[in-house]
Structure 1
C-alpha cells in the first residue's frame, strides 16, 4: 500500500491503514537500530514524522485522538533524538569540509571530527540506547492497538473540510514561521519553519490524488528546502555545542576555524532558505487550499463510499 489517501475509500479506513503501516515500519527500523543505530534511528524518526503529519492533517476530525497520539509520538521521537543528533553532527563536519576545502585542507577539522565520532559511538554503545529503543518499541506497539479507536467523518463534505483544514493549518504555521525567521532570524524560527515545511511535504504526498494542481515540482522544492533547513538546524546545534564550555571539541585553533566556517555556512543557508520558503509559502494559506477543499468534495462525492466501520486491511 502507499502513503496516500485514496479518495475512493472512506477517510477513516484510509487514515487507519496508513497509521498502521507507518507505525509498523517504525517498529522494523527500531529493531534494526539495535545493530545499526545510525540507519535505524534515522529511518524510524522519519516514519514517526510521517505519522505525526497525518495526525495533523486530520486533527479537526478527531481532536482528542490526534492530539493524544501526536504527543505520544513526539515523546517517542525525543527518546531517540540524542543518538541521531550525534550522527548528524559528524555529517555536519563532513559537509563543512566539502564546502570549504581550502580552509580545511590538511585535516583542519580532523580532530574535531574524531571527538564527535567518539561521542557518537559512546551514545550508540551505551545501555541508554537499548533502553530508549525498548521504550520506543513498547509505545509504538501500544499505539497500533489504539488506531481502531480513531473515527473521522466519511461523508464527502465533512471529509473534505477536515483535509482542507489540516493542510491550511500547516501552511499557516509555515507562513508564520517564515515571517519570524525573516524578521528575527533565531534558530527556533528556522526550526519551526523546517517542521512546517516537512509536514507540508508529507501532506502533498498524502493528498497526491486530491491536490488540485500538479505537485511534483512543488514536492521537489519542499523536499530541497527541508534538506537545507535540516543542514541549518545542524549548524545551530553545532554552534551551541561549540559554545558549551563543558564539552570542548578540539584545540583553540581548531574550534576557531570551526566557528568561522559555521558562521559562514549559517549566513548562506539562512539567505537561501528564506528565499526558497518565500516562493513556497508567500501566498495566503486560505487561497492556497480553497481549490483543494472544492476538489476533495468533488472527488469524494464521486467515489463509491464503502462501510466506514470496515476493519483496516
Structure 2
C-alpha cells in the first residue's frame, strides 16, 4: 500500500526516499493522464504535494534540506491554486446543500461555476501544469539523494511530537477563540498528524487505521469550516451577489450556523484524539516501532 512505511525499508532514510519518489511518480502519471478531468487532475496533484510536505515534516528535525524542499513543494503547488480555489467553492456549496438542504443555493452554484469556467478560459492551466511537472521532475532527482542525520524512530520522534503538540494546543485555542485563522491553523496541524498516522500505520494496523479514520474525519470538519470561511469572505466582497442582498445575508447566516455545528463536532472528536500529551503518544509509538522492526 502506498504512503506507508514498509518493513523492507532498511532505514528511515530509505523509506523517506521511496515514499517521496512513489508520490512524485503518481503525480506525474496523473498529470500525463489524458483521460482525467482537468479539475480532478489539479485536485489530485495538489494532494500529492500535501502528502510530500507531511512526509518531510515527520523527519524535519533530522532532514537538513527540509526548509528548502518544503518551500519548493509549497511554491510549486501554488501554481495551481487559482483554479482549485473556485472549484473548491463549488464543492463547498454542494456540501452545504447536503448538510442543510439545497434550497436557495442553485443561483450561487451556477454563478460559481461560471466564474470557475471563466478563470480556466482566462488562464493557461496546461502551461501551469507543465511547469508544475517540471518542478516535480527536479524534485524527484533530489529526493533520490535525500539524507537524514538520525536513524530509526529517533529520526521521526521530534516531528511527530511537534505536530501532535501543536494540534493539541490549537484545539484549546479554538475552543477559547473559534476564529477562522485559529481553526485554520488547527486544521493544518491535524492534517499533518493524519499523514503521520498513515505513514506509521504498519506498526499496529487495526488501531492505527481506526485512529487515521478518526483524524481524517476531524480534518474534514475543520477543512469544511475553513472552506465555508473562504466562501463567506468571497460572498461578502461581491458587488452584485447572485439573488440580491437579502439572499446574500441569508446565505451568510446559513454559513455561520453550519460552521458552529462543525466546531462542536470537531471539538467533541478532538478531545478524545488529543487527550494525552505528545510525549505519551510518541512513547507508545516508539514501543510499537521497536516491536515492528524486531518482528
TM over 0.5: yes
What is the CA RMSD across the aligned residues, in angstroms? 2.2
- The question of 1:119 aligning with 2:119 is answered no
Query: Where in structure 1 are there 5+ consecutive unaligned residues?
Result: 304-313
Aligned residue for 1:214, secondary structure, equals: helix
1:146 Cα offset (Å): 0.6
Task: Classify 1:129/1:139 alpha carbon distance in 2 versus 1 (closer, same or farther; 3 Å).
Answer: same
1:4-83 pair list within 5 angstroms: 4-8=4-8, 9-32=10-33, 36-62=37-63, 64-83=64-83
Range with greater deviation from structure 2 (87-96 or 16-25): 87-96
Q: How many angstroms apart in 2 are the aligned matches of 1:51 and 1:33?
A: 24
Query: Normalising by structure 2, what TM-score?
Result: 0.91
1:1-313 pair list within 5 angstroms: 2-8=2-8, 9-32=10-33, 36-62=37-63, 64-101=64-101, 104-105=102-103, 108-153=104-149, 158-210=151-203, 214-246=207-239, 248-300=241-293, 302=294
Task: Classify 1:121/1:192 alpha carbon distance in 2 versus 1 (closer, same or farther; 3 Å).
Answer: same
Q: How many angstroms apart in 2 are the aligned matches of 1:128 and 1:212?
A: 43
Does the Cα contact within 8 Å between 1:31 and 1:40 map onto a contact in 2? no
* Structure 2 match to 1:306: none
Name the count of aligned residue pairs. 294
Range with greater deviation from structure 2 (287-296 or 268-277): 287-296
1:57 Cα offset (Å): 0.7
Aligned residue for 1:25, secondary structure, equals: helix
Task: Classify 1:33/1:287 alpha carbon distance in 2 versus 1 (closer, same or farther; 3 Å).
Answer: farther
Higher relative contact order (CA 8 A, sep 6+): 1
Query: Where in structure 2 are there 5+ consecutive unaligned residues?
Result: none
Task: Classify 1:233/1:296 alpha carbon distance in 2 versus 1 (closer, same or farther; 3 Å).
Answer: same
Range with greater deviation from structure 2 (286-295 or 260-269): 286-295
Does the Cα contact within 8 Å between 2:198 and 2:209 map onto a contact in 1? no
